Structure formats: C-alpha cells, structure tokens
Amino acid sequence: MTKIAIVGCGISGMTLAKRLREAGFEVDIFEKENAPGGIARGFKAKGWKDSVEFFYHHWFQKDTDLLELISELGLRDRVKYRTPTTVMYHKGKFYPFDSIPAAIAYPGLGFGIHKIRFGLAGVYLRLTKNWRELEKTTAKEWMTKYAGEFAYKTMWEPMMIGKFGEEYAGQVTMAWLWARIYSRTTSLGTFDGGMQELFDLFAEQLRSAGVSVRLKAHVDQIERDDDKNQYRLVLGSGEVREGYDNVIVTTSPQSMLGLCPQLPQSYRSQLAALKHLGAVVLCVRLKHPLSPQGYYWYNLPKNEGYPFLALVEHTNFIPKERYNNETIIYAGDYLPRGHEYFSLTAEELLEKLKPGFKRINPEFSENWIIGATKFAADYAQPVPFVNHSKAIPAMKTPLTGLYFISMSQIYPWDRGMNFAVRWANELAREIIGNEPAGKEFSF
C-alpha cells in the first residue's frame, strides 16, 4: 500500500488526506500545533457557545469547492450565511460599501464621470474570465487607465497600500484584484459552532477512516533515501518516521526551504523568490458594542493615521448571544516581518490600538475591555507580481514523490479556504493518477 505523509493539518492537508485515503492510500498527517485548522483555527473562552478564529475568516456564496467538501462531511446544514455591513472611510465618516446602490451613493468616488468609469470597470471585471491578460499589468496601471486616476487614488490605492504596504502596492498584478472582485459576494458564511468545530469534526472523520492525525508533531526535516525511493521524516522530538512513498508539504515557502535541503537549487530559487507579508491580529473582548451603527467590517486607510488596517466587529456577524453577550472585535493588519507589532505583547499592542477604537466610537472606554489576545503569523498574504503564474513553483517538486502546496500557489485567487480545497483536490487527482496538476480551471 502506498504510504503518504502530509505536513500540516490545515484545510488543504485534511482535504488531501481525505481524497488519498478514499483512494486506498495509507496517510499520516503531522501538525505542529495542538489543533487542526492552520491559520483558520480558533479558540473558545469560558461561557462561549462558539469558537472564534485566531485570524478573522468568513466564506462567500461562490465558495462551491468548500461547500461541496462540507456536504461530503455531512455538515452542510451547519453552514450559516448572513449579510453584515462593510463600510469605507471618507473624510472622517464611514459609508456602507457592500452593494451596487451603496457604491453609487458612496461620496468618496465623486460624481459624474468618475463614478461612471468606476461602475463600468467594475461591471467588466465581474463579467470577464480572462485573468491571464490582466496579469500582464499591475492593478495600479489598469485601474488608473480604465476606472480613472481619481477612482484609483480614492478607492483602490488605500486598500492596496493597506494590504501590501507602500513597497508592494503598486507592483501587484491586476489579476489579483480581478479575482477579489469576480469571486466575492455580500453574503458571508461561517460554521455554526465556529470553524474550529468544523476542523475538529473533519479530523475526527479522518481518524475514523484510518488516517493518522498527529498533533503537536513538528517536522524538522524531510530526507529522501534514493536507494529505497522513500522518505523519512525527522520530528522535533527526535523521533524518525520512515517508509513514505510520497510526502506533501502544506506550509509556507520559507518552511519548505528549511524542511528539505535536498531540493535542487532551481526549485529552491523559485521558493525563495516568492514574497509575502505576515499578519498581526488583536482579538478584544468588550462589555459593549464598539460600532454605534452595527457595522461588521471597517476598511481603514493608513494615511488617515489608523493604527491597523481593518476593524472587524465579529458579533455584528455572529450574534453576541453565542459569546455570553460579549462584544468580540478584531483589529488586524498585514505587515512585513520585523514590524514592531510582532514583538509586542497583547497588552502592549492594545495600548497602541486604543486610540483607533476611540476614533471609531468616541464613547469607548478603558473599562469596556474584558480581555485581549494577540495572534501573529509570519506567512499570511502572498504578494503576486505581474505574470505571477510564470513564477509559481509547481506543486510537484523535482524530487520524485515530494509535493508542495501553499497559499502562494493559489493564484490568481486571493488566499482562502475555498481555493485551498480546490487546489488540494487537483493535487490529489495527480497523485492518485487520474490527471496532471496545473490544468486550467473552469469557472
């Protein structure tokens, strides 16, 4: 029987395990954390009915690959969709920006020709599927040309800077921005009980099917034995696991570089060339709602002095009754490695962010705070440049039997669980032998 090791127990690793086990393979998953779910895993405080994610997550109605997987698990009835309000900043005020009427009314786009050009560009991007043509130029160049410089400067540039920083904002391919506009919906979904419960139930089903799911099992190195055409895994504990015909790594490109020194230099160079940002999130529990209007998602321009990119009031999406009537907010940002936020404690970061809370709600007070928890990840947002499809390392590495799948390869789509499932399904088909990975997807 073919024996396969999967490094990482996020949604892509678990999807691969399910498909490969169904095909009759012996599958072991190794996860360094104490719970499945990757960066979408969550936690639950005393008195809560639902968990919340370490990093805010939700799904879209077009996430068909993910929904099909959840249906296979027999859990589709626990997916809940709601339509919370997302707002944009303009001259000291926040305006809804989550529907066509809201976009038309948004004053930040001006009037007349500016709004018309913005609207026509948006319609085109919602209809076209030709992302390969769009990846030949940057979002800045395309939007300035077709939506207009005014619309780009007031609408898209603040978002691009917030997402990718000053260094990369003007270099990101238009294919990435197209994918966000094309695939997203105003109705947002989550799992009843919290996403951590979904991952726990998924892991439980994998174990019942015969998959070994090992938590707190950090893989330090992957070694290929050419004489046996097999792999061994060296764990941080010193344990060595041998006899694997295939190994699939589902972590970051930088992690992959350290895991397998035997990779040829050409492939290592591709991995090293991939750029990304990390993420820092402070999850804060409050006695009272922060958003006076009940808004869910605040897009915040950094050039206005806000100390974070997004303010997400989770309990304006999931009822606060699920959280012992507490208000749950996230203050999050994508940041380069080395930014001071990574080294701050939760208490220190909270002090930095409090002025931003006060700007959103002048009534905010120190005594509203119940507690705060900080989460950080070095690898959270890949940076796709012009013609990024040509720079992506293949999922099948040059070493026979070794595969790599990561957020950086989920392109042109923005990283997310739906496309992690889609790419995992594709890779599983290649390993099983039905078809090669790398085909074009239908829409």
- The predicted model gives 57-69 an average pLDDT of 94
**pLDDT tens across 243-260, in order?**
999 999 999 999 999 999
- Are 243 and 307 contained in the same domain? no
Residue 56: φ, ψ to 5°: -55, 135
Residues 105 and 247 in one domain: no
Q: Which of 31-45, 209-223, 405-419 shows the lowest mean pLDDT across its residues?
A: 405-419
Q: Is the pLDDT of residue 79 over 60?
A: yes
Give the pLDDT confidence of 268-286 residue by residue, as tens digits: 999 999 999 999 999 999 9
Q: Last residue of some domain: 183, 208, 234?
A: 183
Q: pLDDT tens digit string along 386-411?
A: 999 999 999 999 999 999 999 998 88
Q: The domain that contains 309 carries what CATH number?
A: 3.90.660.20
Number of domains in the chain: 3
Instruction: Please indicate, yes or no, if residue 118 is contained in any of the structural domains.
Output: yes
- The predicted pLDDT at position 434 comes to 54
Residue 439 included in any domain: no
| Average pLDDT of the segment spanning 221-240 | 95
Task: Judge whether 73 lies within some domain.
Answer: no
Residues 202 and 228 occupy one common structural domain: yes
The answer to whether residue 126 sits within a structural domain is yes
Compute how many other C-beta atoms are within 10 angstroms of the C-beta atom of residue 203.
21
pLDDT tens digits, 405-436 = 999 988 898 888 999 999 999 999 999 985 44
Q: pTM of the prediction? A: 0.92
Q: What is the CATH number of the domain that holds 32?
A: 3.50.50.60
At 154 the pLDDT is 85
Q: Which domain holds residue 427?
A: 3-51+193-274+392-432
pLDDT tens for each residue of 306-319 = 999 999 999 999 99
Pair 343, 353 in one domain: yes
**Both 310 and 378 in a single domain?**
yes
Q: For residue 19, what pLDDT is reported?
A: 98
* Residue 443 located in a structural domain: no
* Residue 382 scores a pLDDT above 80: yes
pLDDT > 70: percent of the chain: 98
Does one domain contain both 148 and 165?
A: yes
Whether residues 141 and 109 fall in one domain: yes
Q: Is residue 399 part of a domain?
A: yes
Q: How many CB atoms lie within 10 A of CB 208?
A: 8
Residues 288 and 368 in one domain: yes
353 within some domain = yes
- Of 134, 150, 183, which one is at a domain's C-terminal end? 183
Q: Assess whether pLDDT exceeds 50 at residue 43.
A: yes
Same domain, 244 and 283: no
Distance CA 218, CA 235 (A): 6
> Would you say 397 and 407 are in contact if contact means Cβ atoms under 8 Å apart?
no
Mean of the per-residue pLDDT values for the chain?
92
Q: Is the pLDDT of residue 3 over 60?
A: yes
Tell me what pLDDT residue 442 has: 36
In a domain, 227, yes or no: yes
Question: Predicted confidence band at 197 (pLDDT cuts at 50, 70, 90)?
Answer: very high
On whether both 282 and 361 belong to a single domain, the answer is yes
Last residue of a domain, one of 183, 213, 231: 183
Do residues 401 and 270 both lie within one domain? yes
The answer to whether residues 105 and 176 belong to one domain is yes
